[in-house]
Amino acid sequence: MSAQESAYPLAEPSPVEVTSIESQLEEIWRSCAEAEGNNAVMRAAAFTLIFAARGTAQDLSIQDTLVQLTLRHPVRAILLCLTAETDAHPLSAWVSVYCHRPSPSSSPVCSDLITLEAAGQDCSAIVSTLLALLLSGLPTVLIWDNSLPTDHPVLLRLGSQLERVIVSAIPPCSPASRLSALFKLKASLGAKPVVTDLAECLLLPWQSDIARLFDREPDAANRIHEIRISFAGDKIPSEMLLLAAWLSVVLKWTAQRITLHGHSPGILFAEDRMISFISQTDLSAKDHLEFHLNSPDGEAILRCEEPPGENRLTELLHLQLQIWGRDPVRGESLHRARLWLKELLFS
């Protein structure tokens, strides 16, 4: 097992009985305090972070991703490795502590790291063990890696009892039909957790660019009569449908029905406003938005090109970990996207 260069283990991962996890961690911290003397080491945790993925405890890439997240978020980190093996020990555990220095002169900030490897499908034992390891009085977020299905019994039983669930069920640029998995999961987990998908973070650069566009022309938003969303390929991408729903909420447009605009599906709103989805045959063409505005000179067009950027996993997760409360705009946007999805797919 390894860590990123900017983090180091205060104690190397050591195997431990599941029932002795807490006592072993306390022993690590006692030994550290005695060794350090007056050199303070801060044991910090703002919440419990569970990262679930398919693999084994020896999978370095899984653990390194989790360690990267502890650099920005002081947490108790739990890595849940779910394997398909049924002849192994049903639940194995390792404990460690990882530290980093926020600045060269600051004291180390350290996070507990508990690794659980669960073989087979003993959902009850896995969930009860995880719930016993949560820090009392602090919220918990579950990150469910795309290596695992969203109908996994551990996700459904555990996620419904937590404050935050982050999944990656929607790959970038995937068809809007993939949103169905997110909507189904939200319904299955109930009202308690705030459930988000990493794909939602792909909207942030678009939203920032659109905000800057209208900051330069403050009255333009009131003059829009059509928004044309152009994309490569013949299927509406998930993020483009989410973006359309977000725009309709922000602009306070009232949807009336799904319609065809030429050969392109669209959504007709009150006051003859429209959002159209335009398929581009050139697969190398960039996605873009066109805002068609009423103007004294006829019609004006504001254009917004696909924002540049890389979809780095740790950065997307970092952005998601900043979301805790319920956002009314996001909630209404997802509601609209879910209502439109079926009709758009068959229009």
Q: What is the CATH number of the domain that holds 273?
A: 3.30.360
| Cα-to-chain-centroid distance, residue 323 | 9
Residue 83 falls inside a structural domain: yes
Whether 29 and 147 map to the same domain: the answer is: yes
Structure tokens at 173: 């640029």
The answer to whether the beta carbons of residues 121 and 152 sit under 8 Å apart is no
Residue 71 falls inside a structural domain: yes
Whether 22 and 142 map to the same domain: the answer is: yes
Structure tokens at 228: 């044309």
Whether 17 and 89 map to the same domain: the answer is: yes
Whether 126 and 270 map to the same domain: the answer is: no
What amino acid occupies position 323?
I
Range of the domain at 29: 8-162
Of 147, 162, 177, which one is at a domain's C-terminal end? 162
Whether 214 and 264 map to the same domain: the answer is: yes
Q: Nearest CA to 343 among 129, 210, 177? A: 177
Distance, in Å, from the CA atom of 126 to the CA atom of 114, rounded to the nearest integer, reads 13
**One pLDDT digit (tens) per residue for the chain, 347 residues:** 444 457 777 777 889 999 999 999 988 888 876 655 556 677 778 899 999 999 887 776 778 888 888 888 888 999 999 987 655 567 899 999 888 877 777 777 888 899 999 876 688 999 999 999 999 999 999 999 999 999 999 999 999 999 999 999 998 889 999 999 999 999 999 999 999 999 898 899 999 999 999 998 888 899 999 999 999 888 899 999 999 999 999 999 999 999 986 678 999 999 999 999 999 888 778 899 999 999 887 889 999 998 876 667 778 888 888 888 889 999 999 999 999 998 887 65
The answer to whether the beta carbons of residues 118 and 152 sit under 8 Å apart is no
Structural domain count, the chain:
2
Residue 238 falls inside a structural domain: yes
Whether 206 and 305 map to the same domain: the answer is: yes
Distance, in Å, from the CA atom of 169 to the CA atom of 149, rounded to the nearest integer, reads 8
The answer to whether the beta carbons of residues 89 and 116 sit under 8 Å apart is no
Distance, in Å, from the CA atom of 235 to the CA atom of 177, rounded to the nearest integer, reads 9
What letters, b where the CB count within 10 A reaches 16 and e where it falls short, cover 283-314? eeeebebbbbbeeeeeeeebebebeeeeeeeb
What is the chain's Cα-based Rg? 24
Whether 152 and 26 map to the same domain: the answer is: yes
Whether 215 and 124 map to the same domain: the answer is: no
Residue 329 falls inside a structural domain: no
